[in-house]
A = this chain, B = another copy of it.
Amino acid sequence: MTDIRKETIPRTANLPPGTLVHIGQRRIEAPVLSVIEYDPQHVREYQPADMEELAQPQKNGAVRWVNLDGIHDLEQVERLGAAMGVHPLVLEDIVNTSQRPKLEDYGDYLFLVFKMLYYNADENTILAEQVSLILRQGVVASFQEAPGDVFGAIRDRIRTGGGRIRTMPADYLAYALLDAVVDNYFVVLEHFAENIELLEDRLIEESTPEMLEEIYVLKRETSFLRKAAWPMRELAGAFDRTASALLSQGTRVYLRDLYDHAVQVVDTVELFRESASGMLDVYLSNASNRMNEVMKVLTIIATIFIPLTFIAGVYGMNFRHMPELDEPWAYPVTLTVMAAVAAGMLMYFRKKRWL
């Protein structure tokens, strides 16, 4: 589970392809492996003692969902992989948490890897956790970085027989998991939208230099969201279009729906990008407006008083022969002239609409 802003570059240089290297935060909790098996009539949940029993074929119509929380125990992942019969490269992708979301069709199984997004309200950050799915005939295996996921509602539906999940084959389960993840993107986007709206309101009221940083952070986060959303859309599209025999006709209609949701995620993210750009424009314009106002105040004060000060300076000169100085009317007249100059300036400013 990583802050999405930190997650850009995988590091497997100098290792042979297919080498298992866990990339991502090391965790101390022991990984938890759990299995749910169900058919329309029965549900059974257990923690398998032996990996090999997972390899046994399923009975007619039954679905087995193997979930592994924690992928840092490489040996465990490797044994599970062997039991599922997957290619070493798939295992490498599972444990390397900097994968680009993708779907790969290996003939007798599909491999899907994608990101689960969480919104961390406390730190106002978005966390990403990589989830890998293996879909075989009758079996779905999911690999997560850590305990905690967005699949609770699906487990409940399996347990209670709600919805149609118990009557559908394994590919529907895979779809349901992916759908839960995409739906959760909307939850994240909603928080995002709230932040944007809040910032917009504050911005229009008054814009401070601190907001610039906020806008910049927002822009960067949108970039990261975008980098996450586009491949998710590609993945959903590939899932929808794949010719794999693992997908039943009954599930395909749902995949089209999933694709629509992914497209909507992308559209919304693009809208956020535009909003962020627009906010920067508003911020810059506000700054320039404030500057303008500062300049106006300076100009008004200076242009009124500088000429007056000059007049005062003239009659502060010490020439012996300045006839005005001796006239009794000179002082009041000078003051009147000063007032007239000031009034003229003020009228000029009013005409210019600076006041």
Contacts and interface: CB of A to CB of B under 8 A. Distances in A.
A189 B281 contact: no
A98 B176 CA distance: 20
Interface stretch (A49-57, A68-76, A298-306): A298-306
Interface in A43-85: none
A187 to B, nearest CB: 5
Contact of A319 (B186, B284, B313, B331): B331
A287 interface: yes
Contact of A13 (B10, B183, B286): B183
Contacts of A106: 253
A210 B268 CA distance: 28
A14 B298 contact: no
A291 interface: yes
B223 A9 contact: no
A17 B318 contact: no
A308 B296 CA distance: 19
Contacts of A19: 163
Contacts of A283: 285
Nearest to A209: B289
A299 to B, nearest CB: 4
A121 interface: no
A260 B257 CA distance: 26
By size class, the interface of chain A is: 35 or more
B309 A187 contact: no
Interface in A71-119: 87-89, 93, 98-100, 102, 104, 106
B321 A13 contact: no
A157 B293 CA distance: 60
Contact of A310 (B12, B268, B284, B309): B309
Q: How many copies does the complex hold?
A: 5
A180 interface: yes
A287 B291 CA distance: 10
Nearest to A183: B13
Contacts of A164: 16, 18, 88
A289 B331 contact: no
A140 to B, nearest CB: 16
A28 B320 CA distance: 85
Contacts of A176: 16-17
A40 interface: no
Contacts of A227: 267, 271
Given A219-B278, A308-B313, A312-B313, 15 more contacts: A11-B187, A14-B150, A15-B153, A89-B254, A100-B267, A204-B216, A212-B285, A220-B274, A224-B271, A227-B267, A291-B291, A291-B292, A312-B316, A312-B317, A314-B335
12 contacts: A16-B162, A16-B176, A102-B260, A209-B286, A212-B289, A223-B271, A227-B271, A291-B291, A294-B299, A294-B354, A298-B299, A314-B338
Interface of A: 8-19, 87-89, 93, 98-100, 102, 104, 106, 150, 152-153, 157, 162-165, 175-176, 179-180, 183-184, 186-187, 189-190, 193, 204, 206, 209, 212-213, 216, 219-220, 223-224, 227, 253-254, 256-257, 260-261, 263-264, 267-268, 271, 274-275, 278, 280-299, 301-303, 305-310, 312-322, 324-328, 330-331, 334-335, 338, 352-354
